């Protein structure tokens, strides 16, 4: 069972939102709806499925609907039509108390502008969700200290947000979100306000934490490089419509339309594509194999950029192996050239 599902979700902003859905179903565009009816299309028949423990990235340009989408998951926004399921349960049917419990215990949110309390210390900010849950002071401080250490801020427990850099403030926001031990972490443009170097550092921090915690993360961004670095799966929105969902390498190799192709055209493919993505099967390679060719073994999940220099230097064939050393396939110069080509 997926951890999160959105099923045929429409969100229309305006005085008579339900009247707009038939127009969309007949092919009306977001721009046409706005011009003709003064309604704004947030989401247009969006369905996604997010597995437990994965980082699911939703991206698109400003106005594409990505922030509207994430706010449906914790019901900060309710859909005009459709279903929102968490662990198979339609959360749209929750009463106020059930919804509060969902937000307090199952989900946490990390915001773009940090959302810290300026009058509270780092320790108090991180422990805030635990305070809302009613945990005793000693317990919540102990948990908060663990999370502060996890994000590399030990020693700053008694500082105030104004005494911290932007990157450090965002670490506090992340620690606060993790302190309640939620199953789901919602991150809406969480790193967008940070300087590039700090942003890269926070991305690395999240990847490292996720490798240990295996939370279900829904991450919103307009940055393709960030999507490719963080996402197990990526969904791309355009004008409220879902254009494509896939693994990073699928998005790069097979863009669904011109909109996606424009996003990925300048991507460094060597940083995204893995050996297993471009390899020939042993049977296919056997038909063209050169018995005198040198081979260089790499594991199936190795990125091209990690083995490309030595292959170019030695002109060797790449033998792709699994964790046990079993041969999975082969990569010749031809496969490398085709995979790195933008055409």
Domain co-membership, 260 together with 238: yes
Domain co-membership, 43 together with 101: yes
Report the alpha-carbon distance of residue 317 to residue 323 in Å, rounded: 19
* Residues 256-306 pLDDT 10s: 999 999 888 888 888 888 999 999 999 999 888 877 788 899 999 899 999
Domain co-membership, 180 together with 322: no
Domain co-membership, 224 together with 293: no
Domain co-membership, 162 together with 243: yes
> Are 82 and 7 within 8 A, CB to CB?
yes
> Are 233 and 54 within 8 A, CB to CB?
yes
Range of the domain at 290: 275-340
Residue 148 has a pLDDT of 92
Residue 316 is part of a domain; what is its CATH number?
A: 3.10.580.10
DSSP 93-132: G--HHHHHHIIIIIEEEE-TT----TTS-HHHHHTHHHHH
Domain co-membership, 134 together with 258: yes
Give the domain-ending residue among 211, 237, 267.
267
Structural domain count of the chain: 2
Domain co-membership, 192 together with 56: yes
262 or 3: which carries more pLDDT confidence?
A: 3
Give the domain-ending residue among 267, 283, 317.
267
Region class of 60: left (phi > 0), else alpha (psi between -120 and 50), else beta:
left
Residue 27 is part of a domain; what is its CATH number?
A: 3.40.50.300
Domain co-membership, 298 together with 155: no
Residue 205 has a pLDDT of 87
Task: Provide the total of helices (H) and of strands (E) in the chain, helices listed first.
Answer: 16, 13
Whose tokens are 């780092």? That residue is 122
Residue 342 has pLDDT above 60, yes or no: yes
In the chain, % helix, strand, coil (3-state, to 5) comes to 45, 25, 35
Helix axes 166-179 and 137-150, enclosed angle (nearest 10): 130
Domain co-membership, 255 together with 324: no
Domain co-membership, 69 together with 195: yes
Beta bridge partners of 318: 296, 331
């Amino acid at each position: 069972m997926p951890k999160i599902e959105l099923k045929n979700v429409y969100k229309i902003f305006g005085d008579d939102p339900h009247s707009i859905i038939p127009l969309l179903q007949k092919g009306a565009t977001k721009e046409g709806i706005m011009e003709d009816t003064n309604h704004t299309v947030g989401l247009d028949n969006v369905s996604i499925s997010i597995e437990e423990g994965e980082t699911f990235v939703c991206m698109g340009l400003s106005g594409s609907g990505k922030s509207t989408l994430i706010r449906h998951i914790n019901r900060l926004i309710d859909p005009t039509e459709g279903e929102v399921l968490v662990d198979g349960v339609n959360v749209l049917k929750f009463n106020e108390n059930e919804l509060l419990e969902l937000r307090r215990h199952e989900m946490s949110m990390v915001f773009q502008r940090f959302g810290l309390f300026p009058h509270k210390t780092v320790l108090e900010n991180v422990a805030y969700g635990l305070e809302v849950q009613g945990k005793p002071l000693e317990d919540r401080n102990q948990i908060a200290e663990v999370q502060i250490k996890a994000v590399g801020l030990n020693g700053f427990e008694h500082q105030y947000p104004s005494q911290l850099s932007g990157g450090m403030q965002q670490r506090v926001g992340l620690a606060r979100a993790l302190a309640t031990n939620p199953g789901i972490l919602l991150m809406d443009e969480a790193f967008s306000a940070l300087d590039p170097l700090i942003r890269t550092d926070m991305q690395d921090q999240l990847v490292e934490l996720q490798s240990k915690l295996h939370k279900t993360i829904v991450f919103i961004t307009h940055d393709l490089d960030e999507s490719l670095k963080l996402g197990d799966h990526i969904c791309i929105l355009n004008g409220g419509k879902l254009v494509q969902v896939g693994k990073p390498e699928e998005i790069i190799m097979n863009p669904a339309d011109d909109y996606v192709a424009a996003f990925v055209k300048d991507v460094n493919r060597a940083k995204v594509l893995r050996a297993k993505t471009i390899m020939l099967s042993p049977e296919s390679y056997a038909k063209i194999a050169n018995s005198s060719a040198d081979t260089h073994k790499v594991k199936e999940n190795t990125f091209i950029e990690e083995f490309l220099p030595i292959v170019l230097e030695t002109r060797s064939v790449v033998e792709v192996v699994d964790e046990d050393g079993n041969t999975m396939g082969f990569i010749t110069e031809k496969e490398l050239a085709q995979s790195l080509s933008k055409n």
